Amino acid sequence: MSAAIIDGKALASQIKADLQERIAHLKSKGIVPALTVILVGDDPASAVYVNSKHNTFVQLGLKSEVIRMPADTSQETLLNKIRELNQDKNLHGILVQLPLPKHIDTNTVIDTIDPNKDVDGFHVSNAGALMTGNPRFIPCTPYGVMKMLESQHITIRGAEAVVVGASNIVGKPMALLLQKEGATVTICNSKTKDLAAHTRRADILVVATGRPEMVTGDMIKPGAVVIDVGINRGADGKLKGDVEFASASQVAGAITPVPGGVGPMTIVMLLVNTIESAERLL
């Protein structure tokens, strides 16, 4: 058996095209959706992602600004910059690129962002709003995964869903979204005993561990939908997922590739969240 490929790049393009109308409407009311990204330090991977976000926003006629700060920036300097951006009436989204240098406390930084501008959906109050069923901003990666499942008409209600990885930015919100749509959700982590026994039960398997190719075909239920959130760059410069594509695609019913899967969806959902933020001013 050979799995259907869920093309995140194509779906992202389609969603971008569908956003044009909403952007035009905002502009007709004098509002140009605007995002500011803060990048602290000079991690090369972060620089690539930040440029990619910036280019996408500019292509669609939105405002995008990138503030680059040196790696030795003090936490207080960063917090003061965020407080300044919080006050900017023409700014709808603020994103602090992660990971941050070790001397900076990530939660303190995230929780300084105005929750109404937290288009990542990482602020504790936005995490709480999602958990209690009334989300303000849905974190971009899990939001994009839900759009991918929707595009394939995959039945979530009653499905066995297994999420491997329990991070605040992907695993936990992913589990909540699947649960909200009626899946029975298991969240696995690095301490899980007999991971394969869990993954083999999954009708929908989402892998977000940051461990290259850790899920192999023998761990997958025949016909399952496999969503690979991993973006691991090898020494050869090639991107690898958290799922071993060659073996997994022999067993799965549908699978996302890396690159061209979840990554492009993450960026387009950032657009969606920024536009939604701007629309709340209408």
Ligand X SMILES: Nc1nc(=O)c2c([nH]1)NC[C@@H]1CN(c3ccc(C(=O)N[C@@H](CCC(=O)O)C(=O)O)cc3)C=[N+]21
In angstroms, the Cα distances linking 166 to 56, 162, 169, 173, 211 are 29, 11, 9, 9, 13
Residue 260 as a binder of ligand X (CB under 6 A): the answer is yes
Active-site pick, 117, 118, 120, 240: 120
For ligand X, the binding residues in 196-215 under the rule CB under 6 A are none
From the CB of 86, what's the least distance to ligand X, in Å? 16
x/- mask, ligand X, residues 107-126, rule CB under 6 A, reads -------------x------
List the one residue from 231, 255, 268, 271 that touches ligand X (CB under 6 A).
231
Is residue 154 part of an annotated ligand binding site? no
Residue 49 as a binder of ligand X (CB under 6 A): the answer is yes
Is residue 231 part of an annotated ligand binding site? yes
Cis check: omega of the bond before 99, within 30 degrees of 0: yes
Residue 154 as a binder of ligand X (CB under 6 A): the answer is no
Detail the DSSP E strand segments found in 70-154.
93-96
Structural Rg of the chain based on CA atoms: 19
Return the SS3 of 22: helix
Active-site pick, 97, 172, 228, 240: 97
Distance CA 222, CA 138 (A): 30
Is residue 224 part of an annotated ligand binding site? no
Structure tokens at 106: 């990530």
In angstroms, the Cα distances linking 157 to 38, 179, 195 are 38, 9, 23
List the one residue from 33, 115, 171, 264 that touches ligand X (CB under 6 A).
264
From the CB of 28, what's the least distance to ligand X, in Å? 29
Structure tokens at 197: 């026994």
The percent helix, strand, coil of the chain (3-state, each to 5) is 45, 15, 40
From the CB of 130, what's the least distance to ligand X, in Å? 15
- Nearer to ligand X by Cβ, of 64 and 266: the residue is 266
List the one residue from 162, 267, 271, 272 that touches ligand X (CB under 6 A).
267
Distance CA 198, CA 32 (A): 46
- Nearer to ligand X by Cβ, of 101 and 260: the residue is 260
Helix H or strand E encompassing 125: helix 124-131
Is residue 166 part of an annotated ligand binding site? yes
User: Which residues belong to the annotated binding site for NADP(+)?
Assistant: 165-167, 231
Site residues, ligand X (CB under 6 A): 48-49, 52, 95-98, 120, 140, 231, 239, 258-260, 263-264, 266-267
